[in-house]
Amino acid sequence: MSLQNLSIRRKLILITMLTSSIALLLSSASFLIYDLISFRHLLTEDLTTQAEIIGYNSAAAMAFKDEPAATATLSALMVKGDIVAAVLYSPDGNMFAQYFRNDKTLPAILPSRSQEKGYRFEGRYLEVWHDVTLNGERLGTLFLQSDMRQWSTRAKRYAGICFVFVLISGFLAFLVSSKLQKVISGPIVHLEDTMRMVSAHKNYEVRAVKAYADEIGSLIDGFNTMLSDIQNRDTALRGANDELQTRTRELEEEISHRKEAQDELLKAKYVAEEASRAKSTFLANMSHELRTPLNAIIGYSEMLEEEAHDSATVETVQDLQKIKSAGRHLLALINDVLDLSKIEAGKMSLHLETFEVSGMIEEIVTTLQPAIEKNSNTLWVHLAQDVGMMQADITKVRQILFNLLSNACKFTDHGTISVDVDQSTEQGQGWLRFRVTDTGIGISAKQKENLFQEFVQADTSIARKYGGTGLGLAITHRFVQLMKGRIGVESEPGLGSTFTVHIPAQVKLEAVGPIQAEGDSDANFEIKTGRDTILVIDDDVAVRELMSRFLGKLGFNVLTVASGEEGLRLAKQVRPVLITLDVVMPGCDGWSVLTKLKADSELSKIPVIMVTIVDNEPRGLDLGASNYLIKPVDRERLAVLIEKHRLNRFKTVTGTNTAPMSRLSHGQKRREGDAEVSGRESHAKNLTSRR
Amino acid sequence: MPKILLVEDNEMNRDMLSRRLQRRGYSIVIAHDGEQALSLASTEMPDLILMDISLPVMDGCEVTRRLKADRRTRHIPVIALTAHALVTDRVKAMNAGCDDYDTKPVEFVRLSDKIHNCLLEKKAL
């Protein structure tokens, strides 16, 4: 363990002891040195004094060359334990007398000749040279040698005392510092313990106790403050965490609730869809069942009417006409109900084509002529100059206007009905506006609210007075919606009404929305009305080019593909109006392409003209081809066939879904108008009589 | 006097249509079902066939398909009569090779126009 990593307590003790020991040692050492130096000085003086005394005492002996006396004088030094040797030299430098405390040491250390007076330290010995004089005459030289025994003894003793002192004071310093270091280390250790407790048990409620108001005191204060902060945050965090968990639980519950609700909704939706499907099927069947007897009623009454013209009375003809018109009316109602149920089931689709607005208006006016004349109304038609062609579902546009005009005729007596058509541009889109204005009974504000709802007539008395199902405007409204148009009405009771219909000049299929649920997967495919698409499937590039050029001249978009697979794929994607198909192709041959086309419910209605060198017409027709041409192709014949299919398609398309019925109702309404003349006349009569 | 083969299983419709067509000066041959229609078409060689599509056993589409597959009867124009309000029936009829169609209940004026047109076209060919 290095010094730095010692505990604070040990560090403090160590520092205290080191400091005190160093101070003590230094002071002891300086004291010792000073004492030893001054003691040596004293010893030197003492030895010099002895040399003087002995020199004086032995001066007579020297003068008389009395060696024994000199030796006796020197022997008196025996009492001085530290004198090792004493020698008297004659003035010529030879030894005259000598004394040795221990004879053995003599030869080694004794200088053989006298030297200058004075003192010097030779190793462990102090030597003093002194001139022996008598009455100013130098008689010889005295040499004294001391081993400074006292000095070394004193030094040893002093060192011993110092050592003991240092030991004792060290021990005392240890005791004192051990006690006193607690003042510093105590709070730190306490802080450390507190900190350990906090981190080990995550217990933020403990606090360190502040002992003194020193730096450590403020450190503890800071620590406690920090701890409180942490505790507060911890509490807040715990609270937030609890809340989060509660919320999560709530959310989970909510999610499972929603899921259940969603499942139930899905179930309900499924049930509703099933019910709706069942309803549609029921309606379709029902309408069929209703039509069959109606067919007989209308047919027989027509037949009888024809026969009655020749033979029977006028009354019979009129009665038969009444039966017939009632039957027609019933048929129109059935058609309306079926239309509406189709719209509701999302099965009403749009069949777009480009047509001339004026032609359509003219047709409607002709059809409605009897209805207009019936109540002695006058019809004004005004078409703006710029109204030309529009792209829409002509059958539906026709029915919209027909319904509005029929209503106008129905609710107006001896008045004016006008049709205004003009064109405008809003946000880059062309719109056609049809306004049907009458001077009839009008509609009150309250009646307007439910005007476009099914089975709701302006009020029940109207049903009694004017008849009708109340479906006309609802169907009109739905048709307008289908074409992304809008319809509005302005009216003053008693003064008349104005119905305004806006329909895009270019109705787009993709704008139809839920109607595409009918099964058109490629909602993005925009039908180009002026140019229909023909798909040519042939592996021979020359044929493809010829057909492309030829059919292009006839006014079609031509798509050519070299393989059966590609042809099938494109047919699905593009839905061409017609397909020409080769038989001998690599991979999927013409027979199998034809089989697949006819097996696909969506493609089976596309007419296929086989164009091939294989002479197997029965097989082609059996598999469902419309026509069979053998190469080289007779273009004239191909053109005729295509034109025929185009016409058929036109019938089919206009007929699809709504058209036949609309056409029927169309025609029937015309007659209905006739019939209503008689029906209404009675109403009119009633009215006049009431008046 | 043009000869029309009327294929219809419903007695009332059959009676009514045949009587009215006769009044218009057509001679009428009647078939109750598809089998009979096929045999009458080849023996009587009518100028036109009025074909009800919803026939029992063999439906009108199938009968038409067979007529159109037979070299002897292929040239005879067929007008389909579809009672169903469903589009698919009409498409099916046209795909089977019918030359025209009309819906039931029959609007007689329109139907006789169609018959007239078909016969004119046939004559032109």
CB pairs under 8 A between A and B: 83
With a cut of 90, say whether residue B5 has pLDDT above it: yes
- Position A683 scores a pLDDT of 37
With a cut of 80, say whether residue B87 has pLDDT above it: no
DSSP-derived letter for residue A506 is B
User: Phi and psi for B81 in degrees, rounded to 5?
Assistant: -115, 110
With a cut of 50, say whether residue A629 has pLDDT above it: yes
With a cut of 70, say whether residue A654 has pLDDT above it: no
pLDDT in tens, A323-348: 888 888 788 778 777 777 777 666 67
Summary mean pLDDT of chain A: 80
CA B50: distance to chain centroid?
2
Tokens of A460: 């029940």
- Position A442 scores a pLDDT of 87
Q: Is B117 on the interface with A (CB under 8 A)?
A: no
Task: Test A299 with B85 for CB contact under 8 angstroms.
Answer: no
Task: Test A294 with B105 for CB contact under 8 angstroms.
Answer: yes
DSSP-derived letter for residue A133 is E
- Cβ-Cβ contacts under 8 Å for A579 (sequence gap 6 or more): A534, A535, A536, A537, A567, A571, A597, A606, A607, A608, A609
Q: Is A295 on the interface with B (CB under 8 A)?
A: yes
Q: How far is CA A680 from CA A187, A437, A677, in A?
A: 114, 21, 5
Contact residues, chain A, for B85 at CB < 8 Å: 284, 287-288, 338, 660-661
- Position A457 scores a pLDDT of 54
- Cβ-Cβ contacts under 8 Å for B97 (sequence gap 6 or more): A626, B64, B65, B67, B68, B78
Q: Is B84 on the interface with A (CB under 8 A)?
A: yes
- Candidates B104, B106, B110, B125, partner chain A, best to mutate (most A CBs within 10 A): B104
Better-scored residue on pLDDT, A532 or A523: A532
Q: Select the residue of A291, A331, A651 nearest B83 (Cβ to Cβ).
A: A291
With a cut of 60, say whether residue A446 has pLDDT above it: yes
Average pLDDT for A664-680: 33
Q: Is A148 left (phi over 0), alpha (psi -120 to 50) or beta?
A: left
Contact residues, chain A, for B101 at CB < 8 Å: 651, 655
pLDDT in tens, A137-171: 888 888 888 888 888 888 889 889 888 988 888 88
Task: Test A660 with B90 for CB contact under 8 angstroms.
Answer: yes
Q: Model confidence at A211, in pLDDT bands (50, 70, 90)?
A: confident
pLDDT in tens, A565-585: 888 888 888 888 899 998 888
- Position B28 scores a pLDDT of 95
Strands (E), B36-99: 48-52, 78-82
Q: Is A141 on the interface with B (CB under 8 A)?
A: no
Shortest Cα–Cα distance, A480 to chain B (Å): 22
| Whole-angstrom distance, CA of residue A181 vs CA of residue A28 | 26
Tokens of A195: 């900190």
Q: A122 by DSSP, 3-state: which?
A: strand
Q: How many residues does chain A have?
A: 691
Helix orientation angle between A541-553 and A635-655, rounded to the nearest 10 degrees:
60
Better-scored residue on pLDDT, A418 or A554: A418
Task: Test B103 with A624 for CB contact under 8 angstroms.
Answer: no
With a cut of 90, say whether residue A63 has pLDDT above it: no
**DSSP per residue over A13-69, as a string?**
HHHHHHHHHHHHHHHHHHHHHHHHHHHHHHHHHHHHHHHHHHHHHHHHHHHTT-HHH
With a cut of 70, say whether residue A86 has pLDDT above it: yes
With a cut of 80, say whether residue A510 has pLDDT above it: no
Q: Model confidence at A1, in pLDDT bands (50, 70, 90)?
A: low
pTM exceeding the 0.80 threshold for the entire prediction: no
Contact residues, chain B, for A660 at CB < 8 Å: 85, 90, 103
- Position A688 scores a pLDDT of 33
With a cut of 50, say whether residue A227 has pLDDT above it: yes
Better-scored residue on pLDDT, A81 or A179: A179
> With a CB-CB cutoff of 8 Å, which residues 301-360 of chain A face chain B?
302-303, 306-307, 331, 338
* Rg from Cα positions in chain B: 13
- Position A268 scores a pLDDT of 92
Better-scored residue on pLDDT, A653 or A480: A480
Chain A residue with CA closest to B100: the answer is A648
For the ranges A110-124, A348-362, A475-489, the lowest mean pLDDT is seen at A110-124
Contact residues, chain A, for B106 at CB < 8 Å: 295, 299
How high is the ipTM of this complex?
Answer: 0.73
Q: Is B22 on the interface with A (CB under 8 A)?
A: no
Class of residue A68 by CB neighbours under 10 A (exposed 0-12, middle 13-18, buried 19+) = exposed
Q: Is B10 on the interface with A (CB under 8 A)?
A: yes
- Could you tell me if A389 and A351 are in contact, meaning their C-beta atoms sit under 8 angstroms apart? no
- Position A339 scores a pLDDT of 76
- Candidates A291, A292, A295, A597, partner chain B, best to mutate (most B CBs within 10 A): A295
Helix orientation angle between A314-344 and A472-482, rounded to the nearest 10 degrees:
40
- Position A391 scores a pLDDT of 87
Shortest Cα–Cα distance, A600 to chain B (Å): 13
Residue (of B103, B31, B91, B102) closest to B67 by Cα position: B31
Task: Test B16 with A624 for CB contact under 8 angstroms.
Answer: no
- Position A653 scores a pLDDT of 45
pLDDT in tens, A381-396: 999 888 888 888 888 8
